[in-house]
């Protein structure tokens, strides 16, 4: 194929996804939009330099007309009218079946933070989605067989491709790597868009990590071109944008406006949002210093401002507002762990439903009934809360920036937890697993980012631990790394080589003087 080369290993049925036609379609998108993607990534760096030099974030004066004029997004698409409970998870075969069967209204089929982007995971994920739509998917494990329920009982598939910053090194065009976003989107759209339409729904997407409405404009142009190339009616695609970067919180209206003919709403991507807060203002001292991650709750003033503004913005424009991830995992073996998880999730979803969200996320099938029950009590027979305009909400830029009002401490226990979770997660990620249950919480790349970025920030602000009085230094963190590793090494199944890789990577992204924009970038460079 002209200019396209595959560098990843081949495996059974890969040729069904990596067809000449599918690669040519994806290459067209790469040729037409790849340069704009790189320009937008450079714009991110310029904005970061401005913030590091003392600049701030604010609502954009040049887009005031978008915020003040009257317009609405497209009406909800088939299968997306009612989104009261959504389940997230990677696109492996077992999860595909379990998520679709879970009773959730929507499944976020994740090629991003819950997926380690090995070449095998990337291509097999596309196969699993296509097989699910063809109803040819099955799975057996431990003497148990998994199969799909009838179509009318299945969740609507919404695919999350990788963010604009990630590349796909196993696929090159004229010697340069493809955009990971365009690979995930292009292969799915080519193979599965018309399959979804035939089932009465459509090709739907979650768009991650965007930092500006110009990045949303790029996605919209990709959608228009993709539909044109395959003869799909314009506006068939629908996309929900995750507001999970600090700059995007100041451009919610503009992001909806750019995608309005393809928009399905916004989601409060709370974990990446916290990471972005740290990242964007990491050099600005204690004004933007957060307490340890388990102490930061959605009731913190700056988080309340962010979520309430999201609901008001969405409903004003006729768009769905979807709540954040409940990271707690129920236990079928430990009644106390299970009780705490259910209480926490219930409280979280009660707050969101009361705030006007139209639905929310869970990470485990056992939590679907919990989330559904909470939203059922508010929604009843209504599919959503779009009629709740939240005109009582008024959020200023200062409200969004009020990080210093967040209560909580930084303790040695919190520091140790960050180290332990990051090491365990990175070891799993390097082994091809992107969603990992650790200490009764579902961890993904976003929560690992919080763990390592907090440590970097604490070191660079000479933070003194509230419980021991020790100052957080590189030397202290290195000692804790060794101590935590010793405990992990005593556990069954310890893989010394993989943890050596994870430790080297963690030290790079948490202890180096230069701050890595995303830990997945150096991690992906280490991945075969």
The pair of structure tokens assigned to 409 is 């401490």
Q: Percent helix, strand, coil in the chain (nearest 5)?
A: 50, 15, 35
CA 292 to chain centre: 21
Q: Is-contact 150 137, C-beta < 8 A? A: no
Q: Is-contact 279 247, C-beta < 8 A? A: no
Q: Is-contact 237 261, C-beta < 8 A? A: no
Please name the helix (run of DSSP H) or strand (run of DSSP E) that holds residue 446, with its range, or none: helix 445-459
Sheet strands (E) in 36-105? 85-90
Burial 465-491 (b: 16+ CB within 10 A, else e): beeeeeebeeebbeebbeebbeeeeee
Catalytic residue among 37, 83, 130, 160: 160
C-alpha span between 305 and 161 (Å, rounded): 28
Please name the helix (run of DSSP H) or strand (run of DSSP E) that holds residue 239, with its range, or none: strand 238-243
Sequence-separated (6 or more) residues with CB below 8 Å from residue 299: 351
495 is known as an active-site residue: no
C-alpha span between 444 and 425 (Å, rounded): 7
C-alpha span between 225 and 32 (Å, rounded): 9
Please name the helix (run of DSSP H) or strand (run of DSSP E) that holds residue 321, with its range, or none: strand 321-326
Sequence-separated (6 or more) residues with CB below 8 Å from residue 382: none
Q: What is the DSSP string of 201-238?
A: ---EEEE-S--SHHHHHHHHHHHHHHHHHHTPPTT--E
Q: Is-contact 192 133, C-beta < 8 A? A: yes
Sequence-separated (6 or more) residues with CB below 8 Å from residue 205: 158, 159, 160, 161, 185, 237, 238, 239, 240
The pair of structure tokens assigned to 160 is 């999350």
444 is known as an active-site residue: yes
Angle formed at CA 163 by CA 158 and CA 166, multiple of 5 degrees: 135
Catalytic residue among 355, 372, 444, 452: 444
Q: For residue 487, give the nearest of 419, 414, 431 by alpha carbon.
A: 419
The pair of structure tokens assigned to 222 is 């990709």
Active site residues: 160, 444
């Amino acid at each position: 194929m002209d200019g396209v080369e595959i560098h990843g290993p081949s495996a059974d049925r890969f040729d069904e996804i990596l067809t000449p036609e599918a690669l040519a379609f994806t290459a067209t998108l790469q040729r037409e939009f790849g340069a704009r993607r790189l320009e937008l990534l450079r714009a991110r760096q310029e904005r970061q330099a401005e913030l590091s030099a003392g600049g701030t974030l604010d609502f954009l004066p040049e887009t005031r007309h978008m915020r003040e004029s009257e317009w609405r997004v497209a009406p909800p698409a088939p299968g997306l009218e009612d989104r009261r409970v959504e389940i997230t998870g990677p696109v492996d075969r077992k999860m595909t079946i379990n998520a679709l069967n879970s009773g959730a209204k929507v499944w976020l089929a994740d090629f991003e933070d819950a997926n380690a982007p090995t070449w095998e995971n990337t291509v097999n994920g596309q196969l699993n989605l296509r097989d699910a739509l063809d109803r040819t998917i099955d799975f057996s494990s431990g003497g148990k067989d998994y199969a799909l329920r009838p179509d009318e009982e299945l969740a609507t598939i919404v695919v999350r491709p990788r963010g604009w910053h990630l590349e796909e090194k196993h696929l090159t065009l004229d010697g340069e790597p493809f955009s990971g976003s365009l690979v995930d989107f292009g292969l799915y759209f080519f193979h599965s868009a018309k399959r979804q339409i035939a089932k009465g729904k459509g090709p739907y997407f979650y768009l991650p990590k965007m930092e500006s409405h110009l990045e949303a404009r790029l996605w919209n142009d990709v959608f228009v071109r993709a539909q044109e190339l395959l003869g799909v009616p314009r506006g068939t695609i629908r996309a929900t944008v995750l507001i999970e970067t600090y700059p995007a919180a100041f451009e919610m209206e503009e992001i909806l406006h750019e995608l309005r003919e393809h928009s399905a709403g916004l989601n409060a991507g709370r974990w990446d949002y916290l990471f972005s807060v740290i990242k964007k203002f990491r050099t600005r001292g204690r004004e933007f210093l957060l307490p340890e991650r388990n102490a930061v709750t959605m009731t913190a003033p700056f988080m309340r401002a962010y979520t309430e503004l999201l609901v008001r913005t969405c409903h004003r424009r006729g768009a769905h507002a979807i709540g954040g991830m409940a990271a707690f995992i129920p236990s079928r073996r430990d009644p106390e762990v299970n009780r705490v998880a259910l209480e926490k999730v219930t409280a979280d979803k009660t707050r969101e439903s009361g705030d006007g969200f139209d639905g929310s996320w869970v990470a485990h099938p056992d939590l679907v009934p919990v989330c559904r029950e909470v939203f059922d009590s508010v929604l009843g027979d209504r599919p959503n809360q779009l009629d709740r305009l939240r005109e009582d909400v008024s959020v200023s830029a200062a409200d969004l920036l009020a990080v210093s009002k967040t209560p909580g401490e930084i303790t040695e226990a919190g520091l140790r937890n960050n180290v332990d979770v990051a090491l365990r997660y990175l070891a799993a990620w390097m082994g091809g697993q992107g969603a990992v249950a650790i200490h009764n919480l579902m961890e993904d790349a976003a929560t690992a980012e919080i763990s390592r970025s907090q440590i970097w920030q604490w070191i660079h602000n000479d933070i003194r631990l509230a419980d021991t009085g020790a100052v957080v230094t590189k030397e202290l963190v290195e000692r804790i790394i060794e101590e935590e590793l010793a405990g992990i090494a005593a556990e069954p199944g310890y893989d010394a080589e993989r943890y050596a890789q994870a430790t080297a990577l963690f030290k790079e992204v948490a202890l180096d003087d230069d701050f890595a924009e995303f830990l997945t970038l150096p991690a992906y460079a280490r991945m075969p």
